[in-house]
Structure 1
Amino acid sequence: MVRSTHATPRAGRGRLVVLNWRDCWHPEGGGSELYVTEVARRLAAEGRPVTVLTARYPGAARTEVREGLRYVRRGGHLTVYLWAALLLALGRLGPLGRVEQVLEVQNGMPFLARLFTRARVTVLVHHVHREQWSILAAPLARFGWFMESRVAPRVNRGCRYVAVSDVTRTELAELGVRAADITLAFNGTPPVPPFEQRPESTAPQLVMLVRLVPHKRVEHAMHAVAALRARHPGLHLTVMGSGWWHDELLAERDRLDLAEAVTFLGHVEERTKFEVLSGAWVHLLPSVKEGWGLSIVEAAHVGVPSVAYADAGGVRESILDGVTGLLALDLPDLVAQVDRLLTDHGLRHELGEKAKVRAVGFTWEATATTVAGVLDAG
């Protein structure tokens, strides 16, 4: 259990402010928010006072202490950046004294904390959002990409960076971030909670663990089901997760006549998540882009291999192609790779067992140790 403490920080471990546009309880929170929470908890457990600034959402307290972390919630999707600038400039985010360190989580739009504080700033990047910006309206997309690709690298020149995959590290270097300033810290995975292991179903089962937003491309998984139903009787897709794209996905399910073949469970508890994963044949993550793909390793923990797109960023590292899962080039190839795993039981079980062995090596303790080392590097 991570202990809550307000002990005096040890030498070099100053008061830390984490800037992230959402926390892990936000209705749109996902893997990147979990990463920040798991790391911040462990930093606080060392005796380092941690304040996390995020956007507000219905039912959230403006300020609270939770699991050893002080949360300050202000503004919404866009105005949280203005609030961060104001509170940093006014020195209102360090309840136990001045802020000494800032961990800025750059999810596309940067906070540019360096302009508003003299504290040492470290920038955490899950992935570069070049592909995601194109999903938005053109003016906002151009502005967002300009801020991420041009403004942020200039403002943060000389800052230390943390990247969650080597793909992200390479893309940051392409934007002008000095390679020597970037440290790699993979996602960890928490211990799997006690759950009831489900036997593999006699009917083929696909599963997704994902936020319901456009760039996750749940539609591609449904198209795979539609294409393969005739070859694999009883084929079923279960989608776990919630998000604002839910109604559009239901409409697409109806259009494809898949009401009985695709189930949306919404947000589920940890125990349910692993129970559903354990009974699946194949996990799908056909996203446009992932910094890492935490759900891939969660599925691996219960011996389920994954299929994702080869050009989707960090999935090229969370999946070892042909060893722990398969990577596809496009939608027709995704369908072909899923068909391959549904047909070849020996290959599917071999990839699943290798994925399970590899998953054990990713821990949040190792992630937090790496991030702490970057924060305290001076």
Structure 2
Amino acid sequence: MSQHAPVLAAAPHITETAGLAALSPPRTARAPRRIVFLARRDLANSAAGGSELLVDRIAEGLAAAGHGVSLVCGGPAAQDRSYRVVSAGGDAGHFLRARRTFTRRIGETDLLVEVCNGMPYLAPLWHRGPTLCLVNHVHTDLWDMRYPAPAAALGRRLEHWALARAHRGNLVMAVSESTASALTRIGVPEDRIRVVHNGVEEPGPLVPKATEPLFLAMGRLVEYKRVDLLLRLWERVRPVTGGRLVIVGDGPERQRLQAQAGPGVVFVGRVSEQEKHQLLCRAWLLLHPSAVEGWGLVVTEAAIRGTPAVGFDIPGLRDSVQDGVTGVLARGESAFVSAWCTLALSDGKRGRMGGAAADRAAGFTWRHTVDQFRAVAAEAYARHSEVRV
């Protein structure tokens, strides 16, 4: 086992991953007071997802603890936060304006957190102060899904260079052990990686399960979420289980997916938090056919409400789903269909998995996430000070 390793969230159900032993950052380190996040989107953006929710919950927690927090992002910027949000321009153009916006509208900071979701900001090339890199998942395979070969190859090389080389010497925070492993594979030293898991909201009073089969898929409708695959599998499941498949979310793929959908499929678009809560409670199963995940926040959002998940055996979901305990991780399309049908037809097995999912999800709290982030931020700040000395 390596001498150095990432921080693992201290929940009773977390076990060590091979080669990644728990190592806490120095508790004596002073946490930076002024913290700036540099990210692609604010939570107010219609394309916001799990990454934006993670940053928002950490920023809210830091602000409540007395830190001065700002977010520099692209696109819409909400003004009703407990922290400052500044837009640097449009979704693509803000990458070029991020440095100027930071210099003119933010200025001094104790720690800059670059959220690298594929396209990097290359902050270490223009910011000489303490810097921390936050990574949800390495986009290695996603480049080929979204761009033609030359552009995909360029984007992949730039992402890998930014994480392994531009941020050399900086700590890199990953949201799961799977993401940590992906970082080591592209050359990020293991002793610079820290793992801080996503939290989950306490759901409040639960709503009873639907009396008829109700299956739920929730997330942004983009290629790598593979809702098109789910719709094809539904045609094999529906004759066995009956019921409805409800698709929650919006995105560029929605029109195509709606045209592909067969009987029993309902697209509801974006929903309020109350509607989301009710659907997650009432659903018999959460279906998550994504090809790539860093963690899969919706899995724990469903789990805390007693709803088990069926997904594919991919990095990220291997962290948020305990296969055979809190859900099922399928190793192929037929296995996915089999798990879906089996759990739909077995009230007892589905109920036991739902209970186990709720118990495990209760160990992931946003308060713990914020505490772990503060510890990593303090270490990143201290490391920079030591280098300067």
Q: Does 1:182 align with 2:190?
A: no
How does 1:174-253 map onto structure 2 within 5 Å?
Answer: 174-194=185-205, 197-201=207-211, 203-232=212-241, 234-253=242-261
In the alignment, residue 135 of structure 1 is paired with which amino acid?
M
1:297 aligns with 2:300: yes
Structure 1, gaps ≥5 residues long? 1-9
C-alpha distance after superposition, 1:167-191 (max 9, x if no partner): 0001101111111111110000112
User: Equivalents in 2 of 1:39, 1:110: separation in Å?
Assistant: 20
The equivalent position to 1:345 in structure 2, one of 333, 344, 347, is 347
Counterparts of 1:47 and 1:279 in 2: how far apart (Å)? Answer: 38
* TM-score (norm: length of structure 2): 0.87
Shift of 1:220: 2.0
**1:241 Cα deviation (Å)?**
1.2
Determine the structure 1 residue equivalent to 2:135: 125
Q: Does 1:372 align with 2:374?
A: yes
Distance 1:264 1:183 in 2: 38
The answer as to 2:66 corresponding to 1:47 is yes
Counterpart of 1:192 in 2: which secondary structure?
Answer: coil
What is the CA distance between 1:148 and its match in structure 2? 1.0
1:193 Cα deviation from its structure 2 partner? 4.3
CA contact (8 A) 1:17 1:51 kept: yes
SS in 1 for 2:36: strand
1:22-171 correspondence to structure 2 within 5 Å: 22-57=41-76, 60=77, 64=79, 66-88=80-102, 91-94=103-106, 98-138=108-148, 139-171=150-182
Q: What does 1:260-275 correspond to in 2, within 5 Å? A: 260-275=263-278
In the alignment, what sits opposite 1:7? none
Give the superposition deviation at 1:137: 2.2
Residues 38 and 72 in structure 2, CA contact (< 8 A), matched pair in contact too = yes
Report how many aligned residue pairs link the two structures. Answer: 351
- 1:218, 1:286 within 8 Å by CA — same for their partners in 2? yes
State whether residues 193 and 270 of structure 1, in contact with CA within 8 Å, keep that contact through their aligned partners in structure 2: no
Q: Whole-Å Cα distance in 2 between the matches of residues 170 and 219 of structure 1?
A: 29
Identity %: 35
Q: Cα distance, 1:340 vs. partner? A: 1.6
Contact 2:209-2:284 within 8 A present in 1 as well: no
TM-score, scaled to structure 1: 0.89
- CA deviations 1:94-113 (Å, max 9, x no partner) are 2xx61221011010111111
Structure 2 Cα separation of the partners of residues 137 and 111 of structure 1: 19
Give how far 1:358 is off: 0.7
2:325/2:356 contact within 8 Å kept: yes
Q: Distance in 2 between matches of 1:149 and 1:86?
A: 24
CA distance in 2, matches of 1:193, 1:27: 26
Cα distance in 2, alignment partners of residues 93 and 365 from structure 1: 29
Instruction: Using CA pairs under 8 Å that are at least 6 residues apart, name the structure with larger relative contact order, 1 or 2.
Output: 2
Displacement of 1:194 in angstroms is 4.7
CA distance in structure 2 between the aligned counterparts of 1:11 and 1:184, rounded to whole angstroms: 20
1:307 maps to amino acid: V
Structure 1 runs (4+) deviating above 6 angstroms are: none
Q: Answer yes or no: is the 8 Å Cα contact 2:31–2:375 preserved in 1.
A: no
RMSD after superposition: 1.6
Is residue 248–residue 269 contact of structure 2 (8 Å, CA) maintained in 1? yes
Aligned-pair CA distance for 1:93: 3.9
**What amino acid sits opposite 1:218 in the alignment?**
V
Aligned residue for 1:263, secondary structure, equals strand
- Indicate the SS of the match to 1:130: coil
Aligned CA distance change for structure 1 residues 179 and 93 (closer, same or farther; 3 Å): farther
**Secondary structure in 1 aligned to 2:72?**
strand
Check the 8 A contact 2:41/2:52 in 1, yes or no.
yes
After superposition, the C-alpha distances for 1:196-241 in whole angstroms (9 at most, x for unaligned) are: x13332x322101111111111112212211122222x32101111
- Which of 274, 280, 285 is the matching residue for 2:283? 280
Unaligned runs of 5+ residues in structure 2 are: 1-28, 383-389
Q: CA separation in 2, counterparts of 1:303 and 1:192?
A: 11
Equivalent residue letter for 1:277 = L
Rounded to whole Å, the distance in 1 between the matches of 2:66 and 2:277 is 32
